[in-house]
A = this chain, B = another copy of it.
Amino acid sequence: MEIAGQSYHTIWLDENDEINIIDQRWLPHEFRIVKLHSVNDVARSIREMWVRGAPLIGVTAAFGMYLATVEAKDKTNSALYLQECSQQLLATRPTAVNLQWAVHQQLHAILQADSPQERTKIAYDIARRIRQDDMNVCRQIGEHGIKLIEDISARKQGATVNILTHCNAGWLACVDWGTATSPIYQAHNKGIDLHVWVDETRPRNQGARLTAWELAQHGIPHTIIVDNVGGHLMQHGKVDICIVGTDRTTRTGDVANKIGTYLKALAAKDNDVPFYVALPSSTIDWEIGDGLKEIPIEERGDEEVLSIYGLHEGEIKQVRLAPQESKGLNYGFDVTPARLVTGLITERGICNANERDIKNLFS
């Protein structure tokens, strides 16, 4: 997608085959590009959320395994080293399943190769393919999801379609297009009148910082709201559809996504607002049937709750929000049961959030 008129991806190889990423911690206040030179760099960039979003975490980890094959050449036991690197990468974030999917895919292929050179070549090709696939898949999600927006627009006779989204399931969470935003970008590009309600998404404000920023860069009308507002908007008919992303979806259609998604899904149900989840199939965990019981939910440090970063007189500063005596608790995700999900928008099409329909689509 475009930033100030120039085309960007969230991760790319430059002319020297070095891995470049947008360091998303400083957005929207500063736009910084950094290079990842080592497995340690990659692990840190995922753990500290320089990159984030389930698809982008997967792609970045895939490049991490490519770097692992380069580093393994100097090790006496290179297979052991590759195993250790995969463990290091898997430990960075527990909830997103794309991370496991990408790392396991790499490890499986790499360990079958005969020479260090071949390992590196295989890992390089797989990382590039996973990256390219993510772009294709996100584009396809948009091609399917746009129909939902077109239908609402037609029903409203061209009046503005109001879409609510939570967190950032935009192109910044992927490589390009985004998942939840892909139908939105494509509908906007096609001239459909739409407007996005952007949940700020505390504690890390990925909505206010990232989604608002990427929508603004693309010229899409949007309004930032605090996470408390969505229910009120739905009660008053101001939301036509909710579209969110997911970090892990069970084979039965339960959806782990950024903390607070469940509350919006409840409000959507209570007000007959369609609630859709956009996802690449790499986000489906076919092993798991009960999202509430089986998906591990990341707990992060409470400083993200008690303090916040923002811009003050041109500088990014951290301010304390809470009393010095108080502690916080910081869960990164929650699980929305399938019964609250109207449908899943995937690269293969749209299906109901239940085991049979998901299997039918991907069999």
Assembly of this chain: how many copies? 2
Partner of A232, one of B222, B262, B310, B328: B262
Encode contact with B along A218-250: 1 for CB under 8 Å, 0 otherwise.
Answer: 000011111111111001100000000000000
Instruction: Find out whether the CB atom of B319 lies under 8 angstroms from the CB atom of A212.
Output: no
Closest to A292 in B: B235
Question: Complex: how many Å from CA A321 to CA B228?
Answer: 17
Does A213 make an interface contact (CB < 8 A)? Answer: yes
Question: Complex: how many Å from CA A203 to CA B263?
Answer: 17
Q: How far is the CB of A309 from chain B (nearest CB, A)?
A: 7
| Given A227-B226, A262-B267, A270-B266: A312 in contact with B322 (beta carbons within 8 A) | no
Does A320 make an interface contact (CB < 8 A)? Answer: yes
Partner of A28, one of B264, B267, B310, B323: B323
Partner of A263, one of B198, B213, B228: B228
Instruction: Find out whether the CB atom of A308 lies under 8 angstroms from the CB atom of B329.
Output: no
Partner of A231, one of B208, B216, B263: B263
Instruction: Find out whether the CB atom of A259 lies under 8 angstroms from the CB atom of B226.
Output: yes
List residues of A (25-41) whose CB comes within 8 Å of B's CBs.
28-29
Does A51 make an interface contact (CB < 8 A)? Answer: no
Question: Complex: how many Å from CA A202 to CA B208?
Answer: 13
| Given A312-B319, A323-B28: A259 in contact with B228 (beta carbons within 8 A) | yes
| Given A200-B305, A235-B262, A267-B262: A323 in contact with B228 (beta carbons within 8 A) | no
Q: How far is the CB of A127 from chain B (nearest CB, A)?
A: 31
Question: Complex: how many Å from CA A226 to CA B203?
Answer: 6
With a cutoff of 8 Å between Cβ atoms, the chain B residues found around residue A83 in the complex are none
Instruction: Find out whether the CB atom of B28 lies under 8 angstroms from the CB atom of A229.
Output: no
Q: How far is the CB of A282 from chain B (nearest CB, A)?
A: 24
Does A108 make an interface contact (CB < 8 A)? Answer: no
List residues of A (266-294) whose CB comes within 8 Å of B's CBs.
266-267, 270, 292
Partner of A331, one of B201, B229, B326: B229
Instruction: Find out whether the CB atom of B224 lies under 8 angstroms from the CB atom of A227.
Output: no
Instruction: Find out whether the CB atom of A224 lies under 8 angstroms from the CB atom of B310.
Output: no
With a cutoff of 8 Å between Cβ atoms, the chain B residues found around residue A205 in the complex are 321
Instruction: Find out whether the CB atom of B228 lies under 8 angstroms from the CB atom of A326.
Output: no
Closest to A302 in B: B224
Does A260 make an interface contact (CB < 8 A)? Answer: yes
Q: How far is the CB of A327 from chain B (nearest CB, A)?
A: 6
Encode contact with B along A315-350: 1 for CB under 8 Å, 0 otherwise.
Answer: 001111111111111110111000000000000000
Does A11 make an interface contact (CB < 8 A)? Answer: no
Instruction: Find out whether the CB atom of B216 lies under 8 angstroms from the CB atom of A232.
Output: no
Instruction: Find out whether the CB atom of B305 lies under 8 angstroms from the CB atom of A232.
Output: no
With a cutoff of 8 Å between Cβ atoms, the chain B residues found around residue A335 in the complex are 232, 235
Question: Complex: how many Å from CA A171 to CA B134?
Answer: 53
4 A-B pairs closest in CB distance: A310-B319, A228-B260, A28-B323, A232-B334
- What 12 new A-B contacts, CB under 8 Å, besides A223-B328, A262-B267? A200-B305, A201-B228, A216-B323, A225-B328, A226-B260, A231-B334, A235-B334, A236-B292, A266-B267, A308-B308, A310-B321, A312-B317
